[in-house]
Amino acid sequence: MALAFDEYGRPFIIIREQEQKTRLRGLDAQKANISAGKAVARILRTSLGPKGMDKMLQSPDGDVTITNDGATILEQMDVDNQIAKLMVELSRSQDYEIGDGTTGVVVMAGALLEQAEKLLERGIHPIRIAEGYEMASRIAFEHLEHIAHKFEFSETDVEPLIQTCMTTLSSKILPAFGSGNSVNRCKRSMAEIAVKAVLAVADLERKDVNLELIKVEGKVGGKLEDTELIYGIVVDKDMSHPQMPKQIEDAKIAILTCPFEPPKPKTKHKVDIDSVEKFQTLREQERKYFDDMVQKCKDVGATLVICQWGFDDEANHLLMHRNLPAVRWVGGVELELIAIATGGRIVPRFQELTPEKLGRAILKLLDRNKMMIEETKRSLHDALCVARNLIRNKSIVYGGGSAEISCSIAVEAAADKYPGVEQYAIRAFADALDAIPMALAENSGLQPIETLSAVKSQQIKDNNSCCGIDCNDVGTNDMREQNVFETLIGKQQQILLATQVVKMILKIDDVISPFDY
Ligand code: ADP
């Protein structure tokens, strides 16, 4: 393949050896792409909702992951079809922006593709379908705002936030423990930790939360109940010398990314030592150099040194002797967190050293085995994201597919107003929205079509957009009573992202790939 430029300077690609490539064009290309996208969505469909199934994935080196988190499943699936990769990206974007709804967004995209396939077969041009989908997604987007509710909580009343985080935690790892008092207590304490951690770093006035200030640390060997929140930094390192103090009140920390030792001769330098005296002098000079460094730290008032680099035993001994506690080999990310939390600055050159101070929130986690730690971390991440999203924007829509059903009704009703071919695509979009409640019903062992039509007619009859699928067989369809909801921005994002990806897939009409592909 070669890159060339035409007379206007626009780049184009010259493909040699055409006969060695496979090439799909027009409808064939779209159909092949759609079936690849649908295949990915089909895998995730059974994982959707509170009764969703888990997937077990084994990596090439034997590590096993059990999860029902859409983003994680796709991340580990190692797909090599380009369209399937787009679906992986789709889930990742949802995870990045919102942190929740990663399965739903892929199922939605799959449903849109399925409907598009039917329209293509009826001879509707892909661009028309893409335009219709775009219109429909805007209708759904606005309708969501229309049916949104306000989620009430305040700094003094955080109970609703805790309840929400508990709901998020329940669909992930915690069911694996079965049910019972201890599990519930554990769920509650994990939810409290998530909320407290988020509030500790939240700026309620600006409605902003920087989740990077919260670190989730896993430790093999403890119990889930041992999880605790630490307002501070957890650095999994010991002091460089066992006799250095374990606790320092009001520590003033020098954060160094430069080596904390005398300069070592590199291979291109040569030091000639031919007598004992010369060797002694060199040692003395090195010692003095390091001594000066220690003195410099002391002069600026540092009582603790945290260093990205190591120092040798002799330097360590000297530090101990000069009463300057130190921690060595601290990773770059941790150094940054320490700097943020302590209000300190990272010092890249020794000459720039100035004194710094302490502060802020960090989470520490203790648990039993590695597989559990990872899944617990993921569900905590979800809970943290939900709390953050609610602080950013208090609007919510009800879950259990109720928001999708309500949007589907609105989109279907709007379709009649469009005179062109687009109305077919808009109706198809409405049908695709129904796929979410259908998947929820199916995964909970209910009859999908009967359940959906019953709930839909109930929504229209009672004019109640909160009717959804009663997945847990609680006895009511009203998701407001069940307290099952999702954030408005999360749901809107799902619809926008799914539509964009599907539009992108529909617009591809030529697939050129290497022969062995
Ligand atoms: P995602 O990764 O997309 O968040 P989940 O497996 O967490 O996927 O499922 C989310 C879906 O399940 C949402 O549509 C949500 O409304 C629905 N859901 C969650 N809990 C319940 C419940 N208790 N009853 C009914 N639906 C629920």
Report the C-alpha gap between 256 and 350 in whole angstroms. Answer: 8
Q: Compute CA 137 distance to the chain's CA centroid, rounded to the nearest angstrom.
A: 24
**Å from CA of 425 to ligand 1 middle:** 27
Instruction: Give me 29's structure tokens.
Output: 């290309």
Q: What is the pLDDT of residue 357?
A: 44
Q: Compute CA 383 distance to the chain's CA centroid, rounded to the nearest angstrom.
A: 11
Q: Is 361 close to ligand 1, i.e. is its CB under 6 Å away?
A: no
Q: What is the pLDDT of residue 407?
A: 95
Q: Is 325 close to ligand 1, i.e. is its CB under 6 Å away?
A: no
Q: What is the pLDDT of residue 297?
A: 83
Ligand 1 atom 1: the closest Cα is on which residue? 101
Q: Is 101 close to ligand 1, i.e. is its CB under 6 Å away?
A: yes
Instruction: Give me 25's structure tokens.
Output: 């064009």
Q: Is 486 close to ligand 1, i.e. is its CB under 6 Å away?
A: yes
Q: What is the pLDDT of residue 448?
A: 92
Exposed, middle or buried: residue 249 (CB in 10 Å: 0-12, 13-18, 19+)?
exposed
Ligand 1 atom 11: the closest Cα is on which residue? 49
User: What is the position in ligand 1's atom list of the atom closest to the CA of 401?
Assistant: 14
Provide the CB-side half-sphere exposure for 23 (13 A, CA). 9
Report the C-alpha gap between 92 and 73 in whole angstroms. Answer: 11
Ligand 1 atom 5: the closest Cα is on which residue? 49
| pTM for the model | 0.75
Ligand 1 atom 9: the closest Cα is on which residue? 49
Provide the CB-side half-sphere exposure for 11 (13 A, CA). 4
Q: Is 257 close to ligand 1, i.e. is its CB under 6 Å away?
A: no
Q: Is 95 close to ligand 1, i.e. is its CB under 6 Å away?
A: no
Q: Is 97 in a helix, a strand, or coil? A: helix
% of the chain beyond a pLDDT of 70: 90
Q: What is the pLDDT of residue 41?
A: 92
Q: Which domains, and CATH codes, for the chain? A: 15-150+394-514 (1.10.560.10), 159-232+364-392 (3.30.260.10), 253-359 (3.50.7.10)
Report the C-alpha gap between 326 and 253 in whole angstroms. Answer: 9
User: With a cut of 0.90, is the ipTM above it?
Assistant: yes
Q: What is the pLDDT of residue 426?
A: 95
**Å from CA of 48 to ligand 1 middle:** 6
Ligand 1 atom 12: the closest Cα is on which residue? 49
**Å from CA of 400 to ligand 1 middle:** 6
Phi, psi for residue 234 in degrees, rounded to 5: -100, 115
User: What is the position in ligand 1's atom list of the atom closest to the CA of 382?
Assistant: 4
Q: What is the pLDDT of residue 517?
A: 43
Write out residues in the chain with pLDDT < 50, as ranges: 175-176, 178-179, 357-361, 363, 517
Per-residue pLDDT reduced to its tens digit, 414-459? 998 888 888 999 999 999 999 999 999 999 999 999 999 999 999 9
Report the C-alpha gap between 21 and 1 in whole angstroms. Answer: 11
The catalytic residue positions are 69, 102-103, 382
Q: Is 411 close to ligand 1, i.e. is its CB under 6 Å away?
A: no
Report the C-alpha gap between 442 and 445 in whole angstroms. Answer: 5
